[in-house]
Amino acid sequence: MEAGRPPLIGWPVRHFAVFCTDGPEAAERRAAAIEAHKRYMESVWRQVAVAGPLHDPSDGRVVGSLYLVCAVDEAEARRVIESDPFFAAGIWQDVGLSAFTPALGTWPGGRIWD
């Protein structure tokens, strides 16, 4: 391995990036659903590489959510998101999902190419 280059890694599962944008009254809805959301996330944490709120850089308020979901296919990734109490509470006005390859960085622990 070259000096300064991270080790090679491999991923046997598929990853999906999910970008959720808050809609109207999201703060109130989020506050009402937060405990159920936390319990749900604790139940699916093994299927989630990372998740957390998105913040407006100007004032720090929560404006959405970001998930990296580990799943066998897009349908399973959608089930993880659509089973979240935040989804049922109507917090998000838009949910975008895309297949994602963690190719480089400290989180995947290196790189995927030679």
Q: What is the pLDDT along the chain (114 residues), one digit of tens a residue?
A: 445 555 554 455 789 999 999 999 999 999 999 999 999 999 999 899 999 999 999 999 999 999 999 998 899 999 999 999 999 999 999 999 999 988 898 877 889 887
Structural domains of the chain in order of their starting residue, each with its CATH number: 23-102 (3.30.70.1060)
Tokens of 65: 């959510």
Say what the pTM is. Answer: 0.85
Dihedral over alpha carbons 56, 75, 39, 63 (to 10 degrees): 10
